[in-house]
Amino acid sequence: MLESLITSQTRIRLLLKFFLNSNTSSYLRGLAEEFQESTNAVRIELNRLEKAGLLTATFLGNKKIYQANVKHPLFNEIHNILLKHTGIDQVIERVTESLGNITKVYLIGEMAEGRDSKIIEIVLVGNQIDKDNLSRLCKSVEEMIGRRIQAQIISPEKETVHFEKEKSLLLLWEKAAPRIKIK
């Protein structure tokens, strides 16, 4: 879908890298190695995105570090388009609607690092989640989006300990606190 709108594969990779997880930052040579592209091709796209205001850059020594500009008026729209492109929006919608005891959904792994992957790794935080139902839901969504889903379940009590060693983590969804009615 996205490939028909944006013809540059390098630009798509950069958007995925920086706009799926806005905490992601990187520099030219690191991106060129990760994408297995020439530094010139990556530099051209970085310059275009920076000139458009979609990326910000800071210097760390002699390295120019890039990051998504979360204050850009199109940031949320681009982020949402990428969630749809990767199918993550369907995972969130189907899983959270059908499994009522979930309090949070995290994205981990390659996609949390901003790299496109055929596997969506999620961690569900909640109690008394039916694993068989989760498995059926994942298979249904996998067929719809053409990607594999690896889902882990942890209890809210183990959330902090579980994520201590996780270097790439993105909170995708959190159950809203119930509203208190005032009479």
pLDDT bin (cut points 50, 70, 90) of residue 175 is confident
pLDDT score for 39:
96
**What is the arrangement of strands in the sheet containing 148-154, beginning at the earlier edge strand?**
148-154, 119-126, 102-108, 169-174
Among residues 83, 81, 82, 53, the alpha carbon closest in space to that of 68 is found at 53
Q: What is the pTM of this model?
A: 0.81
Residue type, 52: A
What mean pLDDT comes out for the span 94-112? 88
